[in-house]
């Protein structure tokens, strides 16, 4: 018999403990958005790197049942060539050791609760590698638990999609910070939070494939936007959301047996 999950989107933060216990007992996957609190230009809120993936996971959960885990709101430190850098007020970052330890604890707590199928869905570019390390360490202690690590939340976009999204050419994901992708997704998913009158285009004075310390301001921008943001639209955001949700669902379908939607309600006696 296939494992089962309750009707409707199951979002960890809004579930009761018996509902969470029931979902874990049903062997439902849980997917955790691993984000950051980081500047996203003068037009987007600093919560972009966890609000966007959490919203996309909600959309994916409506198509393929799983528990939408609690988003991790703090990530590894911002870098000039991909996030603007630590010189911006508002960015709150963790050192690598703290970030890894936090993820280890979160994974072990989910396992203690009973989850055996876990996916880490990282959105913040700088989290790469630091998401894999705690998953690797925890997997060594709990070999019966399957952990899927998604460090790049974006699919490979088709040429036709890139032509719509970037008619003047794709600058690359590293420079797509607070630009067309994230601004379009916000205009589609959370339009009321976009400061539309503050959207600008910007570009660093130099773009090189290495980092320099102390921070070199010429590798970032005064606005915090690293490419074009004025070309963002809600229509592009809808296209992006559809492609990314399909990507999330395809990963789940590849790695985890689907669950059925039924009641998750259990009494305290049943889960004690």
Q: Which of 39, 62, 60 has its CA nearest to residue 49?
A: 39
Please say if 201 is a catalytic residue: no
pLDDT digits (tens, 9 = 90+) for 19-60: 999 999 999 999 999 999 999 999 999 999 999 999 999 999
CATH of the domain at 29: 3.40.50.10310
Of the listed 19, 43, 176, 177, which one is catalytic? 177
Residue 260, pLDDT score: 66
SS3 80: helix
For residue 102, the enclosing domain spans 4-271
Which residue ranges of the chain lie beneath pLDDT 70? 1-9, 260-272
* CB atoms near residue 62 (< 10 Å): 11
Give the pLDDT confidence score for residue 174 in this predicted structure.
Answer: 87
From the list 19, 38, 176, 202, the catalytic residue is 38
Q: Is 255 an active-site residue?
A: no
Q: Which of 19, 126, 187, 202 is catalytic?
A: 126
pTM comes to 0.91
What's the structural domain count of the chain?
Answer: 1
Q: In Å, how far from its chain's centre is CA 161?
A: 21
The one catalytic residue in 49, 176, 187, 202 is 49
Return the pLDDT at 107.
Answer: 98
The active-site residue out of 19, 40, 43, 187 is 40
43 in catalytic set: no
Tokens representing 133 are: 């390390």
**Candidates 19, 182, 187, 202; catalytic one:** 182
- Distances from the Cα of 205 to the Cα of 77, 219, 222, 227, 232, angstroms: 22, 6, 11, 11, 22
260 noted as active-site residue: no
């Amino acid at each position: 018999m296939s494992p089962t999950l309750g009707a409707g989107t199951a979002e960890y933060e809004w579930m009761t403990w018996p509902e969470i216990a029931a979902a874990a007992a049903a062997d439902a996957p849980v997917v955790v958005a691993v984000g950051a609190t980081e500047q996203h230009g003068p037009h987007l809120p600093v919560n972009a790197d966890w609000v966007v993936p959490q919203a996309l996971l909600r959309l994916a959960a409506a198509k393929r049942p799983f528990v939408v885990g609690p988003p991790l709101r703090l990530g590894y430190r911002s870098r000039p060539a991909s996030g603007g850098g630590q010189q911006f007020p508002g960015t709150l970052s963790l050192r690598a050791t703290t970030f890894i330890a936090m993820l280890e604890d979160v994974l072990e707590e989910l396992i203690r609760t009973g989850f055996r199928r876990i996916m880490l869905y990282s959105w913040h570019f700088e989290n790469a590698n630091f998401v894999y390390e705690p998953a690797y360490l925890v997997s060594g202690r709990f070999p019966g638990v399957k952990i899927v690590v998604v460090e790049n939340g974006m699919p490979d976009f088709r040429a036709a999609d890139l032509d719509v999204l970037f008619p003047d050419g794709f600058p690359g994901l590293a420079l797509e910070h607070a630009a067309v992708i994230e601004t379009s997704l916000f205009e589609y998913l959370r339009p009321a939070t976009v400061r539309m009158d503050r959207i600008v285009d910007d570009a660093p004075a130099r773009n090189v494939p290495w980092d320099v310390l102390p921070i070199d301001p010429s590798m970032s921008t005064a606005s915090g936007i690293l490419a074009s943001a004025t070309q963002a639209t809600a229509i592009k955001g809808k296209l992006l959301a559809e492609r990314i949700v399909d990507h999330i669902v395809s990963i789940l379908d590849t790695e985890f047996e689907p669950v059925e939607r039924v009641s998750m309600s259990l009494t305290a006696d049943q889960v004690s």
